[in-house]
């Protein structure tokens, strides 16, 4: 099968599962903007969204209802749906001959599935067995800038506090943030239905279940566990506090890390200048640093506020602040980058 | 002078300097709500705001223009104005016989001036020489819950990341957040004039000057230095990242601390149940934790998300999340609490 796929993958048929969602739409945009060498694009969604038309390369493509026969002839399937949809349909897609890039958490911690940020461990893609997992958005945005540091001077302790946008909970959550804020400003009542707490000018702990043993929520455990897997370093000690803030689409993160050997802020700043997927925004004089409004719509993760961590007098720790588009590098862009690797290096053995 | 003041202080004449500002108005509310035993309330503000009338105990009080003769007969002057107003007028007030409780940063790090959170170091008030400083709001909200921990098992390392509301920059900033958000929702342009960056659905690094040596901003250095002074522990190593989020009036903080001896999350949770000025909000099952919407208008600092810090495998670290009303415990309430101590214990020697 590898030979057939290798040749087909030079100009693959690509499917987007969940094409009408916030991330699905951005996947379509990324494929178009990056001139992805596909021969045909198939858009799949729930029956409720089927029949809608989305524009791609000047052409209207009708969204088809996802079914067990949807993947015939598909070479690469980009999944951006719920974990349960991925658990059911990703194996069906693989069985039909497609390689799946899955944006859900369903397979991320599966030993047989590479979990990939191309700038960090793109080489892991080659050992896939049909599925490549796309990491959690907060994890991608927190750790992509840290990889060049870790590669030079191992990070042994990592503490992140996130400022996560509505987009991470989907288009409906973005709408709820806008509508509830308008209601607040107008002095009207608003009943939140998408997120568990009032969102207008408010923030709250990430709306995922709390692990009864540790007290960490699911999102935090994803950042913690996925960091270890992506870095290929099970011993890195990570703590995360994940918070939803009333921002529409880019996540920000306050990051503090402690290295094995002493490290200076200026050394980290130099590394950020050439770090792949990263843009240094660290203008002390004008007080201009990474902001979600600037990160929105940008491929790069913005990094700044790089300074020695004054809570570690031994000089082993640095702190910084970053902001990245949750829908792009945090989701759709990273998935399309993985697909680009698949086109170049389809499979190993 | 002490004898005269001691007797007068049982029913003092109180002045609020900056009475029409966001904090000044809350000082008036706190004095009324807490039934502060004052004989007369004098409201002072810039000539621009003079002539306005504010209600206190059912009576309208006219705001007088602040001048060098304003403090005749005043026993306690609560200052909530700029640092330059405090630097000029606080010594004048002291000279006229008043005790000043100053909410600006002008005197906070002065060795002769106690810097006080009553729940932590109320005893320091007695050694004042005319001025008692009210700490930075982010510092108060971050460290008030930590005091019972520090008293039992010294905190040697402290890392905070803040989520600060518009109110910290005054009433005009709150108005700018509301108005710019309305403009954003209506698709209209809005030119920000109070804060340096667009605020609607955006966040940004705290709008204070960056120290050219360390890269920390003024707000962060206040949290770092004031923590040491209030705890009376110059060796505690502190790092802070201060961020403005699009929230109207309560600050939130992600706090990670490392103690001298091992400490468990459950031990910290027990301490929070009886910590003065603190309310435990840590409902894992219902995902209900401290939020600015709940902290607004509350005297207590809400504390939750208490868990072992997984980035420290030695078990010496715990992480938590808190939210406190910036205008109340972060400013006006703390100042009025200091004034209450002055009424009880006017001065030592």
Residue pLDDT, tens place only, A313-337: 999 999 999 999 999 999 999 999 9
Instruction: Let me know: does A146 contact A127? Beta carbons within 8 Å.
Output: no
CB contact under 8 A, B245 and A287: no
Residue pLDDT, tens place only, A135-179: 999 999 999 999 999 999 999 999 999 999 999 999 999 999 999
Residue A348, pLDDT score:
45
DSSP reduced 3-state for B32: helix
Which ranges of B156-311 does DSSP label H, i.e. alpha helix?
171-186, 218-231, 265-274, 292-295
pLDDT band at B316 (very low <50, low <70, confident <90, very high): very high
Q: What is the mean pLDDT of residues B140-159?
A: 98
Count Cβ–Cβ pairs < 8 Å, chain A vs chain B: 176
- Summarize chain A as % helix, strand, coil (round to 5): 35, 25, 40
* Edge-to-edge strand list for the sheet holding A131-133: A64-65, A40-45, A13-17, A76-79, A99-102, A131-133
CB contact under 8 A, B157 and A319: no
Residue pLDDT, tens place only, B42-51: 999 999 999 9
Q: What is the mean pLDDT of residues A221-234?
A: 98
Tokens (6 digits) for B205? 């690094």
Tokens (6 digits) for A166? 């509505």
Residue pLDDT, tens place only, B112-132: 999 999 999 999 999 999 999
Burial of A91 (0-12, 13-18, 19+ CB in 10 A): middle
Cα end-to-end span (Å), chain B:
10
Q: What is the mean pLDDT of residues A32-55?
A: 96
Residue pLDDT, tens place only, A96-145: 999 999 999 999 999 999 999 999 999 999 999 999 999 999 999 999 99
For chain A, give the percent of residues with pLDDT over 90: 95
For chain A, give the percent of residues with pLDDT over 70: 96
Measured distance CA(B158)–CA(B135) in Å, rounded: 18
Residue B10, pLDDT score:
82
Q: Is the dihedral of CA B71, B77, B80, B84 positive or negative?
A: positive
Catalytic option among A29, A128, A206, A251: A251
CB contact under 8 A, A292 and B203: yes
CB contact under 8 A, A202 and B292: yes
Q: Which of B206, B204, B194 is nearest to B136 (CA)?
A: B206
ipTM associated with this complex: 0.95
Compute the nearest-CA separation of A12 from chain B (Å). Answer: 39
CB contact under 8 A, B178 and A185: yes
- Residue A349 in this model has a pLDDT that exceeds 50: no
Put simply, whether B163 touches A (Cβ < 8 Å) is yes
- Residue A2 in this model has a pLDDT that exceeds 70: no
Measured distance CA(A190)–CA(A170) in Å, rounded: 19
Tokens (6 digits) for B109? 């790090």
- Residue A5 in this model has a pLDDT that exceeds 60: no
Residue A344, pLDDT score:
84
Compute the nearest-CA separation of B262 from chain A (Å). Answer: 17
Measured distance CA(B220)–CA(A289) in Å, rounded: 15
Mean residue pLDDT of chain B comes to 95
Question: Rounded to whole angstroms, what are the CA distances from B91 to B4, B10, B100, B112?
Answer: 19, 23, 9, 13
Phi first, then psi: give them for residue B315, nearest 5 degrees.
Answer: 75, 20
DSSP state of B292: H
Residue pLDDT, tens place only, B8-25: 678 999 999 999 999 999
Residue B344, pLDDT score:
84
pLDDT band at B6 (very low <50, low <70, confident <90, very high): low
- Residue A288 in this model has a pLDDT that exceeds 90: yes
Q: What is the mean pLDDT of residues B222-240?
A: 98
Put simply, whether A239 touches B (Cβ < 8 Å) is yes
Q: A288's torsion region: left (phi>0), alpha (psi -120 to 50) or beta? A: beta
Residue A126, pLDDT score:
94
DSSP reduced 3-state for B29: helix
Put simply, the chain A residues between 265 and 324 with a CB less than 8 A from any chain B CB are: 265, 284-285, 287, 289, 291-293, 304-313, 317, 319, 321
Tokens (6 digits) for B19? 């009475």
Concerning whether B197 is annotated as a catalytic residue, the answer is no
Chain B residues in contact with A185 by the CB 8 A cut-off are: 178, 181-182, 185
Instruction: Let me know: does A143 contact A120? Beta carbons within 8 Å.
Output: yes
**Considering only alpha carbons, which residue of chain A is nearest residue B157?**
A311
Chain A residues in contact with B214 by the CB 8 A cut-off are: 307-308, 310
Chain A residues in contact with B209 by the CB 8 A cut-off are: 287
**Residue A254 forms beta bridges with which residues?**
A161, A321
- Residue A74 in this model has a pLDDT that exceeds 90: yes
pLDDT band at B68 (very low <50, low <70, confident <90, very high): very high
- Residue B198 in this model has a pLDDT that exceeds 80: yes
Pairing of strands B155-163, B250-259: antiparallel
- Residue B241 in this model has a pLDDT that exceeds 80: yes
pLDDT band at A345 (very low <50, low <70, confident <90, very high): low
Residue A1, pLDDT score:
45
Tokens (6 digits) for B285? 């099952």
Measured distance CA(A261)–CA(A157) in Å, rounded: 12
Chain B residues in contact with A178 by the CB 8 A cut-off are: 185
Q: What is the mean pLDDT of residues B302-330?
A: 97
Measured distance CA(B204)–CA(A319) in Å, rounded: 16
Residue pLDDT, tens place only, A241-286: 999 999 999 999 999 999 999 999 999 999 999 999 999 999 999 9
Measured distance CA(A185)–CA(B201) in Å, rounded: 14
Burial of A234 (0-12, 13-18, 19+ CB in 10 A): exposed
Put simply, whether B217 touches A (Cβ < 8 Å) is yes
Mean residue pLDDT of chain A comes to 95
CB contact under 8 A, A305 and B212: no
Q: Which of A181, A149, A136, A291 is nearest to B245 (CA)?
A: A291
Catalytic option among B137, B242, B259, B322: B137
Put simply, whether B210 touches A (Cβ < 8 Å) is yes
Of A163, A319, A321, which has the smallest distance from its Cβ to B239's Cβ? A319
Of B204, B216, B312, which has the smallest distance from its Cβ to A237's Cβ? B312
Instruction: Let me know: does A50 contact A63? Beta carbons within 8 Å.
Output: yes
Q: What is the mean pLDDT of residues B205-227?
A: 97
**Residue A304 forms beta bridges with which residues?**
A321
CB contact under 8 A, B291 and A202: yes
Cα-only R_g, chain A = 20
């Amino acid at each position: 099968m590898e030979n057939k796929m290798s040749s087909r993958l030079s100009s693959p048929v690509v499917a987007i599962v969940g094409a009408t969602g916030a991330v699905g739409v951005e996947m379509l945009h990324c494929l178009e903007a990056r001139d992805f060498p596909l021969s045909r694009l198939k858009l799949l969604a729930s029956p409720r969204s089927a029949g809608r038309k989305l524009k791609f390369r000047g052409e209207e493509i009708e969204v088809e209802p996802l079914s067990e026969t949807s993947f015939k002839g598909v070479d690469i399937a980009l999944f951006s749906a719920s974990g349960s949809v991925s658990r059911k349909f990703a194996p069906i897609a693989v069985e039909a001959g497609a390689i799946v890039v899955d944006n859900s958490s369903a397979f991320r911690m599966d030993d047989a599935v590479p979990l990939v940020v191309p700038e960090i461990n793109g080489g892991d893609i080659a050992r896939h067995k049909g599925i490549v997992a796309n990491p959690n958005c907060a994890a991608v945005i927190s750790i992509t800038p840290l990889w060049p540091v870790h590669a030079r001077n191992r990070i042994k302790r990592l503490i992140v506090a996130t400022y996560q946008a509505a987009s991470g909970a989907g288009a409906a959550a973005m709408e709820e943030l806008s509508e509830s804020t308008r209601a607040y400003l107008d002095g009207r009542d608003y009943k939140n239905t998408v997120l568990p707490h009032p969102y207008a000018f408010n923030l709250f702990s990430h709306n995922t279940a709390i692990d009864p043993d540790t007290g960490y929520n699911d999102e935090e455990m994803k950042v913690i566990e996925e960091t270890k897997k992506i870095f290929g370093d099970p011993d890195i000690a990570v703590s995360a506090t994940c918070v939803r803030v009333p921002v529409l689409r880019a996540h920000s993160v306050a990051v503090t890390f402690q290295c094995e050997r002493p490290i200076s802020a200026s050394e980290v700043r130099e590394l950020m200048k050439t770090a792949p997927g990263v843009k240094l925004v660290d203008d002390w004089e004008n007080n201009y640093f990474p902001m979600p409004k600037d990160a929105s719509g940008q491929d790069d993760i913005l990094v700044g506020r790089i300074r020695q961590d004054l809570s570690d007098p031994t000089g082993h720790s640095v702190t910084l602040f970053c902001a990245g588009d949750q829908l792009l590098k945090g989701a759709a862009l990273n998935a399309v980058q993985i697909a680009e690797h698949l086109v170049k290096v389809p499979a190993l053995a």
